[in-house]
Chain A
Amino acid sequence: MLRITGGRVYDPANEVDGEVRDVCISGGRIVEEVTGADVRTIDAAGMVVFPGGVDVHTHVAGGALNFARAMTPENHRNAAKFTHSPELRAGVGGTTPSTFATGYLYAGLGYTTVNEAAVPVLSARHTHEELRDTPLVDKSCCVLMANNELILDLLEEGETERAKHLLAWHLWAAKGYGVKAVNPGGVTAWKWGKDAKILSEPVPGYSKVTPAKIISSMAAMVDELELPHPMHLHCNNLGAPGNIDTTIETMKVLDGHRAHMAHLQFHSYGGDDWDTLRSESVRLAEFFNEQPNLTADAGAILFGDSVTITADGPWQHLLYQLTGRKWGNLDVENETGCGVVPYTYKGTNMVNAVQWAVGLELLLLINDPWRIYLTTDHPNGACFWRYPEIIHLLMNADFRRECIEKLPDKALKRIHLPGIDREYTLSEIAIIISAGPARALGMPQKGHLGVGADADVVLYNDDSDRERMFGHPRYLLKGGEVVVEEGDIRKMVDGREFIVRPSYDDNIEEYLRPLFEQYYTMSFENYPVEMERLEGADIRECG
């Protein structure tokens, strides 16, 4: 049992805004009160107390990420090193950290829950194996569905109801938590080297299936299945100049259905080509503010080395041609694909400067912090362990201005950031890094410090250097265990995995089996991930 006393508590979900109050913990949960001789007290005077961070969109495990590790030894050779000790496993940080290091690095920011945002069913077993080896954080997965050809084939036939059962079956087979849609129709088109750029045009290989149809029907399926997390959507035309129109069109197509719009920064550009690229964050934010059915994460970029990893194959081929550097591509039969391209964002590059501004603009212009969350689409825009740099930029307008002054002149007239004075409060930060994403993920036990919540609690020094503050938590409690103490990781605990079991018609398996045997290359029995593969699975029944 444990009492945290004297700290200023930021618990926006329970409308606690910086009050000095005690937080009591027993049995891994927040409780009203603890008493007795065996209560440990942590004196948090001078510290702020936050619910543990929640990353709504990150790439930390699985085939694509592991592919990136193989491709970029240069990004790990000079990265943070984790030396093994009786408590800790060895590892490397960098752009795609090893699994153990991923857990340590997240804990080193005060994060306790992460959502791996792109999992193919076919290799989900691999993802779960990696997540098992990712300590100190709880985990969930979004499963890639919007290019699953067996589902698209059903949409082509107008069999939406059966498609819904198939989707639900796949989600359970993958032991996933949510449904991910990446470049709907575009990834399957990429299997022929093509893309799906126009929402209303049929996807190559289909006559009736359009990206718009995939988006609207899949969002509806997710709502009908009553999944805790809305459809997690990576829009078409990621990264392309002028893609603002596609993004707004996508929001209209959703027609009131819930959706989480991933890495919005990459979808908020005006202009016709790279030379005329400009920020359209104002237009996007204004439209988004009026759509209460939607949440979003920023997908902000920071200058420096990154590696882009996405199921968006055609975009990755373009990026490879633009950079002339390395290119990895892995198409996954009947389901999805992925591309890997190392990339360096340069402050001197006009396009990168605009991207940098757009991420911050969206965070500052979307007026409800409950609907926009801090992410970098790790490792695409920047590595997650750089979040504190973004928090500092959001909380300190003077610092932001200093950074803007260093941007190339060409970029300044293409962005809105210089005219924005808003500064985030600590409470708003607590929303965008914890309370908001927890709510969007539909995890009632996360992102707050009310009675009954998981005792994931982080204590930061109240430091005017917000980057230092959020990069060096003094204490972190995971499920009530003190895992970071005086800034050092002291204890290894395994995280849980959240999964959903949606209801579906069992007969769907009879429909699927012959198709599977015809189109796939493994035995049908081996396709679903066995429950034993997961460590500490926390199952939510839905629908």
Chain B
Amino acid sequence: MITLTLKEQPEVPIEAEALSPDVVSKLGNDELRALPIFYGKRQLRLDEFFEVEGELSEELEIHGDASRVKWLGRGMTHGQLRIVGNAGMHLGAFMKGGTIDVTGNASDWIGAEMSGGLIRVGGNAGGQIGAAYRGTLTGMTAGTIVVEGSAGLEVGMRMKRGTIVIKGMAKDFTGLEMKGGTIILGGAELRTGAWMNRGTIISLTPIPLLPTFAYNCSYNPTFLRVYARELAGLGISLPFEESEGSYESYSGDAAVSRKGELLVWQPAG
């Protein structure tokens, strides 16, 4: 295992896209220490900000409050990245495979435009999770993101496939312009599913709806059984038994299409 420990809080953000298993697994300790990172406009060696232990491993662990360290795990294709603490913006952006775990909080743009892999955040996360960068037509196309706590704005914006689970509350515009895939929410603030084209958003608590979503029926979709079993492996329990309740189904967003589905859980009784 390679362990990096942040020595002090940087005054301005650090950009460290080199910190992915793909890169570090090929490097000895000396090379690791010399890896270039950006501190503002200056290029520094990794060991100017981090204690660096270990070498040649696909397991990378980062200790400390790295909430101002951006681009961790960018584009990674395999291996494990574990952050014991907080992570900064763009965590796992463009990720293709492997696993990222954050014990604390994560910032905006985690898993943006990712096409595979798993990101788990123990605390809260920021906005634009699994989203498309501004202007890009498509956000995440595969993979899974699980946030134990709350999330910010525009979760899953323009996502096409894959799964995002926010166990707590998400802020406005969850599933904005979504093209496919699934988002599971503990709850959400306003404008969930705004301008969605396709895809499924499931909320486990009642949420405010846009006027452009139409009620269809109440049911227990069979695909949810399969899905629930898959998610159980990630420690997520998605109710699906009729005895427990059912899902109110809405379709929308009629402003752009009526092919998106919004499911809101209604416990029995």
| A contact residues vs B (CB 8 Å cutoff) | 71-75, 77, 325
| Interchain CB contact under 8 A, A72 and B137 | no
For the A-B complex with A72-B135, A325-B137 known, give 13 more contacts whose Cβ atoms are closer than 8 Å.
Answer: A71-B135, A73-B133, A73-B134, A73-B135, A74-B133, A74-B134, A74-B135, A74-B136, A74-B137, A75-B135, A77-B133, A77-B135, A77-B136
Give bound CA distance, A75 to B135, whole Å: 8
Question: 15 A-B contacts, Cβ less than 8 Å apart?
Answer: A71-B135, A72-B135, A73-B133, A73-B134, A73-B135, A74-B133, A74-B134, A74-B135, A74-B136, A74-B137, A75-B135, A77-B133, A77-B135, A77-B136, A325-B137
List chain B residues, Cβ under 8 A from A75. Answer: 135
Nearest Cβ distance between residue A90 and chain B, in whole angstroms? 12
Closest to A77 in B: B133
Give bound CA distance, A325 to B197, whole Å: 13
Instruction: Mark interface residues in B129-152 (1 if CB within 8 Å of A CB, else 0).
Output: 000011111000000000000000
Please provide the chain B residues from 164 to 191 with a CB less than 8 Å away from any CB of chain A in the complex.
Answer: none
List chain A residues, Cβ under 8 A from B134. Answer: 73-74
Please provide the chain B residues from 53 to 81 with a CB less than 8 Å away from any CB of chain A in the complex.
Answer: none
List chain B residues, Cβ under 8 A from A74. Answer: 133-137
Nearest Cβ distance between residue A68 and chain B, in whole angstroms? 12
The listed residue with most B CB atoms (<10 A of its CB), out of A71, A73, A325, is A73
Total number of B residues with any Cβ neighbor in A under 8 Å: 5
Give bound CA distance, A71 to B137, whole Å: 12
List chain B residues, Cβ under 8 A from A71. Answer: 135
Nearest Cβ distance between residue A473 and chain B, in whole angstroms? 31
Give bound CA distance, A72 to B137, whole Å: 10
List chain A residues, Cβ under 8 A from B133. Answer: 73-74, 77
Give bound CA distance, A540 to B153, whole Å: 57
Give bound CA distance, A71 to B135, whole Å: 7
List chain A residues, Cβ under 8 A from B136. Answer: 74, 77
Give bound CA distance, A77 to B133, whole Å: 9
Give bound CA distance, A156 to B15, whole Å: 63
Give bound CA distance, A75 to B133, whole Å: 11
Give bound CA distance, A73 to B133, whole Å: 9
List chain B residues, Cβ under 8 A from A77. Answer: 133, 135-136
Nearest Cβ distance between residue A111 and chain B, in whole angstroms? 28
List chain A residues, Cβ under 8 A from B137. Answer: 74, 325
Closest to B133 in A: A77
Give bound CA distance, A77 to B134, whole Å: 10
Closest to A73 in B: B135
Closest to B134 in A: A73
Closest to A76 in B: B135
The listed residue with most A CB atoms (<10 A of its CB), out of B134, B135, B136, B137, is B135
Nearest Cβ distance between residue A152 and chain B, in whole angstroms? 37
Give bound CA distance, A72 to B136, whole Å: 8
Closest to B256 in A: A324
Give bound CA distance, A77 to B90, whole Å: 15
Closest to A344 in B: B137
Give bound CA distance, A60 to B133, whole Å: 25
List chain B residues, Cβ under 8 A from A73. Answer: 133-135
Closest to A325 in B: B137
Give bound CA distance, A73 to B132, whole Å: 12
Give bound CA distance, A72 to B135, whole Å: 6
